[in-house]
């Protein structure tokens, strides 16, 4: 007789927990484990940070809760979320750290724009981030952060910062070091504008707002966090960022912020030239260069960064007809650039500088100048502005060649100039785009521009034999002229 089958003991069913319950339990366990493993120095540092946070909250009249806005996931385009950035936030949160999408990516998501890049902020230090991501690289000295690389995609991951300690000495507010770690709300309070201080948790679709950024975003208002005189004095490059956000996102600058921009524009001369140049190039390639440069000039910043250009544009109320024509053409050129950018153009730095410096060389070329003479004139005109702004020599040299090339497009072919060979030069494509902008600005010459497009197409289809014959023809003309001049020199001795 066979034994009856044994019954399996019933397994005790675990109570099901919601995702938030599991997260809370995990965070408590991680927090307990971290606190038990802290050294005495680290515990004291955490206590001082908590004391500083409490004092700061009392000073600002903030109770620590802020505002939390729940965004329905259907309100955000899932295709706009960067999967690599999501991967960074998820790993940080699973390791027990706070992590959010911050800054411009949150702002752009909320207004329906597709963010160009995603920034992540966390309470993990740069070294802790680096240990979690083998593909991470710590960069920066004034502001240490981690670049997490996924192929060509870089996720900028920074640690929460707090206000730096007051600098002793002359009372200068300019921030020269910014590696004081803090909490999420401290990090929000030290940012530049309210619309850039929103923190999005992609796992819960909750937005943490400590500065009324959501209200300003709904009102289409650009406002600094705190006293604008202090915020802009800390980092005058924020003036350029304000111009960029206002013109690109169609925001109205709050009156107190605008007055502070005008009063503190001189501070741009003390800012790091590479940072100023980077923001200027962003303004020019933003698709709103016309409005941005006009606003920057109205704020007084253009004359600080490029005083020679400001001088060439002249007084707004000048009666000089030549100055009025020169200035009007410059603004139309920027409008043409904006239109091309909206149509898909990705301008190089050299092309942007050529457009920017057009008023400096516009009236310096004469019809009898050779190409070499025009190149030297362009280099001499650009030199003062490039030295003051610390522009890269590679970009300024290419910009000078672009400016010197544009008269060639209306030059008649002769024995010294070959249109086919000109189309094969290194700067031709950029020079042709610049010539097209000039044609569009003046409203005439489109037939000449289209003819050059045809020449470029024929040159690209030409075989090596045809190009070789053309090179021999031009080279032979040059040699024959040198022989004749040499013969006359010998006979005169």
The residues annotated as belonging to the active site are: 117, 119, 192
Residue of 56, 108, 63 whose CA lies nearest to 82: 108
Q: What token pair was written down for 29?
A: 């366990």
Instruction: Yes or no: say if 148 and 122 are a contact pair by the CB < 8 Å rule.
Output: no
| Secondary structure element (H or E) that encloses residue 159, with its range | strand 153-159
Question: Count of H helices and E strands in the chain?
Answer: 23, 10
Could you tell me the CA-to-CA distances from 283 to 10, 68, 344, 364, 439 in Å, in that order?
69, 33, 16, 27, 22
**How wide is the angle at C-alpha 181 spanned by C-alphas 179 and 185, nearest 5°?**
125
Euclidean distance between CA atoms 313 and 300, whole angstroms:
13
Can you tell me the distance from the alpha carbon of 43 to that of 67, in angstroms, rounded to the nearest whole number? 29
Structure token digits, residue 118: 């995603």
Q: 388 with 357: CB under 8 angstroms?
A: no
In this structure, the dihedral spanned by the alpha carbons of residues 241, 242, 245 and 248, taken in order and rounded to 10 degrees, is -90
Give the C-alpha separation, 384 to 401, whole Å: 17
The three-state secondary structure class of 369 is coil
Residue 247 Cα to chain centre, angstroms: 14
Contact 120, 88 (CB under 8 A): yes
Of the candidates 295, 174, 176, the residue with the CA atom closest to the CA atom of residue 242: 295
Write the DSSP string, 426-442.
TTHHHHHHHHHHHHHHH
Could you tell me where the DSSP H helices lie in 61-172?
A: 83-94, 104-110, 126-132
| CA 230/CA 264 separation, integer angstroms | 10
CB 360 within 8 A of CB 308: yes
């Amino acid at each position: 007789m066979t034994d009856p089958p044994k019954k399996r003991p019933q397994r005790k069913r675990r109570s099901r927990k919601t995702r938030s319950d599991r997260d809370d339990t995990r965070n408590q366990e991680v927090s307990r484990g971290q606190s038990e493993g802290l050294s005495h120095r680290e515990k004291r540092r955490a206590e001082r940070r908590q004391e500083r946070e409490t004092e700061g909250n009392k000073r600002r009249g903030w109770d620590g809760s802020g505002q939390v806005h729940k965004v329905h996931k259907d309100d955000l385009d899932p295709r706009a979320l960067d999967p690599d950035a999501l991967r960074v936030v998820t790993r940080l949160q699973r390791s027990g750290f706070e992590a959010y999408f911050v800054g411009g990516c949150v702002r752009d998501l909320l207004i329906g724009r597709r963010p160009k890049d995603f920034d992540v902020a966390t309470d993990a230090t740069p070294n802790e981030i680096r240990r979690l991501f083998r593909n991470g690289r710590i960069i920066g000295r004034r502001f240490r952060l981690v670049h997490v690389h996924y192929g060509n995609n870089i996720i900028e991951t920074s640690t929460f910062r707090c206000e730096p300690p007051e600098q002793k000495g002359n009372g200068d507010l300019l921030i020269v070091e910014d590696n004081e770690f803090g909490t999420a709300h401290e990090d929000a309070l030290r940012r530049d504008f309210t619309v850039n201080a929103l923190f999005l948790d992609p796992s819960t679709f909750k937005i943490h707002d400590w500065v009324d950024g959501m209200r300003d975003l709904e009102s289409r208002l650009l406002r600094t966090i705190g006293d604008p005189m202090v915020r802009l004095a800390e980092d005058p490059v924020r003036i350029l960022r304000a111009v960029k956000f206002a013109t690109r996102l169609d925001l109205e600058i709050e009156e107190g912020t605008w007055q502070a921009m005008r009063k503190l524009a001189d501070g741009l001369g003390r800012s790091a030239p590479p940072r100023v140049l980077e923001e200027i190039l962003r303004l020019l390639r933003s698709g709103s260069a016309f409005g941005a440069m006009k606003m920057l000039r109205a704020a007084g910043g253009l004359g600080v960064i490029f005083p020679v250009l400001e001088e060439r544009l002249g007084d707004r109320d000048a009666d000089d007809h030549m100055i009025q024509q020169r200035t009007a053409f410059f603004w139309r050129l920027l409008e043409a650039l904006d239109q091309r950018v909206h149509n898909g153009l990705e301008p190089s730095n050299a092309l942007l500088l050529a457009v920017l410096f057009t008023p400096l060389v516009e009236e310096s070329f004469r019809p009898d100048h050779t190409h070499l003479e025009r190149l030297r004139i362009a280099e001499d005109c650009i030199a003062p502005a490039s030295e003051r702004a610390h522009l890269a020599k590679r970009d300024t040299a290419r910009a000078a060649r672009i400016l010197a090339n544009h008269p060639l497009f209306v030059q008649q072919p002769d024995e010294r100039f070959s249109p086919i060979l000109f189309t094969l030069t290194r700067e031709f494509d950029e020079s042709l785009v610049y010539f097209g902008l000039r044609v569009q600005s003046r409203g005439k010459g489109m037939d000449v521009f289209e003819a050059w497009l045809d020449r470029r197409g024929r040159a690209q289809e030409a075989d090596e034999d045809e190009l070789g014959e053309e090179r021999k023809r031009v080279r032979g003309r040059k040699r024959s002229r040198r022989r004749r001049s040499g013969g006359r020199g010998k006979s005169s001795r």
